Chain A
Amino acid sequence: MSSQKKKNFQIEAFKHRVVVDPKYADRTWKILEHAIHEIYNHNASGLSFEELYRNAYNMVLHKFGEKLYSGLVSTMTLHLKQIAASVEASQGSLFLEELNRNWAEHTKALQMIRDILMYMDRTFIPSTRKTPVHELGLNLWRDNIIRASNIQTRLKETLLETVQKERNGEVINRSLMRNIVKMLMDLGPSVYQQDFEKPFLDVSGNFYRGESQQFIECCDCGNYLKKAEKRLNEEIERVSNYLDAQSEVKITNVVEKEMIESQMTRLVHMENSGLVNMIVDDKYDDLGRIYNLFRRVPNGLMLIRDVMNSHIRETGKQLVTDPERVKDPVEFVQRLLDEKAKHDKIVNLAFNSDKTFQNALNSSFEYFINLNVRSPEFISLFVDDKLRRGLKGASEEDVEIILDKVMVLFRYLQEKDVFEKYYKQHLAKRLLSGRSVSEDAERSLILKLKTECGYQFTSKLEGMFTDMKTSHDTMQGFYEAMGRALANGPILSVQVLTTGSWPTQSIPACNLPHEILTVCERFKTYYLGTHNGRRLTWQTNMGSADIKATFSGGKKHELNVSTYQMCVLMLFNNVDQLSYKEIEQAVEIPTVELKRCLQSLACAKGKNVLRKEPMSKDVSENDSFFFNDSFSSKLYKVKIGTVVAQKESEPEKQETRQRVEEDRKPQIEAAIVRIMKARRVLDHNNIVAEVTKQLQSRFLANPIVIKKRIESLIEREFLERDREDRKLYRYLA
């Protein structure tokens, strides 16, 4: 395409132009030029706006726009050169003030010049794509003043010096700074950035690099952080006082990088004052500060989290493996709870309840709590302790709080089924001995477990409560039905326990005393008469009895004993002395239990209703036992506890463990079948992964066990191996 235009196409055919007097343009321009001078010299009051506007209009109308524009450029440049000279000549501290005063005057003059040249600005400039008057004025100011060789460096250095003075605590003229900075911004973001912001950031970087070195040598972590925080706030304040708001991020980045990021590791690990010390000493302020400062730098929080994590894991590990601590389960769990409360408080107060910190805390607790295989048992024991006596007199809310805390620990357990097992045992004891402080608290905890682990987890526990209730009703019914027939016999209270819901063991019943046996038989007949198709087995190992005994001098006591103990004591109704063998033959109580029971009757101080020969702490098979006629107690009611280790003994533990493993088998199998039913074909590794995932909420399935279960399922033809790829299993419908 051609850029050559056919001028003859726009000849006079369209416009008859009057030839303007050539001197007219010069004359008019002189008037306008004079006006511009007068405006710069503050003499504008003598000028006629109407005349000037009209003259400028006429110049454009008569195609002298170019002359007008170039005249404006040169006149304005002339004035700016003069201003530059006067700014340069200003002495020392007056430099900024002189610059500011001239800037104010220039902007005012520029506005007035734009007013009179408005017609040019509106018509001539857009069509010729020239710079509009206002922008032109700013550009000329930038090139002739701000970037003049004698001013540019001086301006930059004066500004930076002033900032440095303020950093050193001197008072500076902030409004002057604000005006100068605003001028740079008015000249365009690039001027502000290039002529001030960039050098400002560089200088600040150097300054803070030096200062951080100096601080880290002489301050402890807490003080260092205080200083860093102060500097950071100062810079933010400086930005709001006289810098462009967009500089805030940049300058705070510099401070963060130099004062925090570069010293981060050293600060956290600082001896005697680092992060671990802060955590140990609960220094919430310092921790809050470290959190807020480190949050600003990349990886800062991660560093804190990692250090905190390894600290918690370390102390936690010590806690759960310390043989001293393991002695007392209640104390043990209480320590865990304290530890949790301490760190929760730190996370909430100092770490802004940061989710990632909460997660880290949880994973650390989960890690070390499961280091000790007895944790599930201990937690259940702790609950048992609380529900038996600990909560006595506590308000409903307090109970809830404690239970909630326990639930938090429960959540950390990987082997929740082990906990369930123990909990069931402990609950059974509580229920059967009527020792539970509050049924509400019991129910509330079960509800919590239910929300946590689902209906299946607690259905048996709930069944236990139902049994208690029905038993109560049954007993009432029994005595109503019997009426007088039983009036003189011992009072029997039978708890009918559903098999499966309770942690019953198939221990053969011992030989009950004749008096009791009669009542029991009557009950049995009554019960089976009202319920069809049921079978009753006596669990004599779980019962208790209140018996009245008369000692020398007619002292009467009511003894609260277990069923076993009762059986033993009833033997002494007729004789005063029995050998171990005789007792064993008479009652047929399992050896361990019998020994334990005799021990509690003969060896416990203040409770020794029997006397043993020879006197010793332990019961052996050659011992003889006598009725201790001289027994005395301040209390009328004497509770003779069984010498039961609260904790399980080593063999018991093994047994529980084994039972847990047994119980897991069907669950693992069920999970495998569920998964295979859905997927039809799956390889070994994926099955293991999915089973583990499914059972996670209850326990951590062992891959070897899973493998065994798979094999067992193959044997029973639920699954088969793929004929071609032996790694694949197929589901057989």
Chain B
Amino acid sequence: MAIQKDRVRFNVGGKIFETTATTLAIAGRDSYFAAMFDDNWDLQPNPAGEYFIDRNPDCFAILLDLLRTGELYVPPNVPERLLYREALFYGLADHVRSAKWGRFDGNRLHLLKSITGRAPGDGTAIRASSEGGCCVAHGSMVHIYDWMLEEHPPINLDYQRVNDAGWVGPVDPNGLVISTCERLGRGQGGMGLFNSTTGELRYKFSVTHENVVKSYTAGALCFNDGYNLFSSCKGRSNEYGIGVWDQNTGQQVDFFYEPPGWSLGDADKLQWLNGSNCLLVATLFPRKDNCYISLLDFRSKSMVWSWSDMWSPANSDDRRVRDAIAMEENGSICVVNEFEDLGFMDLRRDSGSVRWSSRSRIMKGKMPDEPCYPKLALHEGQLFSSMNDCISVFCGSDWVLTSRLKRSFGGSICDFSIGGDRLFALHSEENVFDVWETPPPSIV
């Protein structure tokens, strides 16, 4: 090479770029540049001292700048899709993704875009993946979007209604578990693990009762760190309760049968608590009887904490609990009622009462025609609650309202999810979902 040993000259699609080996080294071992300059190849530049690459020069300029500065600047004339494709070619997709948006902060979120779905009105669930993509379940379909918000082939569940979906997580970024209703008489339904890029079914999770495989309806889903998958199950006879499977093998490893008078199989929300090795099970939209929230310890097969509105007066706030979330660090469970009042229960005391926070109840009485009940989420000490077309962010030990995320159309929000440093909110009316993200850190 000419003057400096470190200097590298590229000819990309006819345009000359000069950079240094040090800059290229930032791309990492799994990149085009690392492979290219592998000693084994003993690569020689052409007589002009250049290395030719038959790719788009504009994108190369952006990516080279990303390697130099760690920041991503995409000029308006370059479509993002084009840039992503080129990044994939060079093995820089991860660099682009991590430079594109910043670390999640509920108080600094900006609306990236709103994506319109196909069938309006029956959105069930939206689930963020750890990489910044998401899946949207509505009816018997699950639509998959990757972090570039490219839609992948949807997964069709053969006209079974989808109840919940969940990403397996970083160990298997493509793994998506979908729970559906049982179809009577055919032994179908239940739950399966799908490959989100190809839409192929890897295996089904079956429920076995006394060595007989039973058909069942799978409800809410939840994963824990130990590669276990939990789901609320409703079977034909005895199979009411919480099933546990090994997510790597698909084998059923445990089943927590529903105690009499306590509704587990109907649970709408499951949450694994790492610290106490327990599962929070909340049944909040029962058909006839009461609401139940309980913590299950699977090792001792016991209910270590429980609450029910059974004993609450008919018109109290307790009767209208619509979502619950355990906050282990605070040792409490947060609940929300249909007017978006937050209530708290002490986890350390059994069957305690709900302490409702004294937030203003301006929302009361302004119920939209088709109400969507509030939902809760917790992310790194920030509490999120959705109500109508708006998501509120609460922070601090007293859960002060700090931000509101609102978009004026699409109707009320039926579900939202945080993951991969993004927040996804699904609207019920038009099946539109919003993607919120934190901008990259400022330059200085």
Contact = CB atoms under 8 A, between A and B. Distances in A.
Contacts of A50: 36, 51-54
B91 interface: yes
A108 B156 contact: no
Contacts of B151: 14
Interface stretch (A67-75, A110-118, A687-695, A707-715): A110-118
Give the bracket for the number of chain B residues in contact with chain A.
35 or more
Interface string A284-307: 000000000000000000000000
Contact of B35 (A9, A10, A115, A129): A115
B92 to A, nearest CB: 11
Given A9-B154, A123-B88, A1 B188 contact: yes
Contact of A49 (B31, B43, B91, B199): B43
Interface string B180-214: 10000000111110010111110010000000000
A53 B91 CA distance: 12
Interface string A118-131: 11011100111100
B190 A1 contact: yes
A3 interface: yes
A118 B158 contact: no
B35 A116 contact: yes
B89 interface: yes
Nearest to B181: A1
B32 A127 contact: no
Interface in B11-47: 30-32, 35-36, 38, 40-43
Given A9-B153, A49-B41, A54 B54 contact: yes
Given A9-B156, A44-B40, A126 B174 contact: yes
A214 interface: no
B157 interface: yes
Contacts of A57: 89
B353 interface: no
B158 A126 contact: no
Contacts of A129: 195
A2 interface: yes
A44 B38 CA distance: 12
Contacts of B153: 9-10, 14
B160 interface: yes
Nearest to B197: A127
A1 B157 contact: yes
Nearest to A128: B198
B160 A118 contact: no
Contacts of B141: 9
Contact of B192 (A3, A114, A127): A3
Interface in B153-172: 153-158, 160
A716 interface: no
Nearest to A112: B40
B173 interface: yes
Contact of A115 (B36, B53, B154, B178): B36
Interface footprint category on A: 20 to 34
A4 interface: yes
Nearest to B180: A1
Contacts of A128: 198
A1 B40 contact: no
A114 B35 CA distance: 8
Nearest to A11: B153
Interface in A92-115: 108, 111-112, 114-115
A44 B40 CA distance: 9
A249 B256 CA distance: 43
A126 B192 CA distance: 19
A1 B154 contact: no
Nearest to B156: A6
B204 to A, nearest CB: 6
A604 B38 CA distance: 107
Interface in B127-160: 141, 151, 153-158, 160
A616 to B, nearest CB: 94
A605 interface: no
Contacts of A514: none
Interface in B259-300: none
Nearest to A6: B156
Contacts of B52: 50
B428 to A, nearest CB: 23
B33 to A, nearest CB: 11
A108 B157 contact: no
Contact of A122 (B30, B157, B160, B201): B30
Given A49-B36, A122-B30, 17 more contacts: A1-B157, A1-B189, A1-B190, A5-B200, A9-B154, A10-B199, A14-B151, A50-B54, A53-B36, A111-B40, A112-B41, A115-B40, A115-B41, A118-B32, A119-B89, A121-B30, A127-B174
11 contacts: A1-B157, A2-B188, A5-B156, A5-B199, A5-B200, A9-B154, A10-B199, A14-B151, A49-B43, A108-B40, A127-B198
**Closest CB pairs A-B (n = 5):** A2-B158, A115-B35, A3-B201, A10-B153, A127-B197
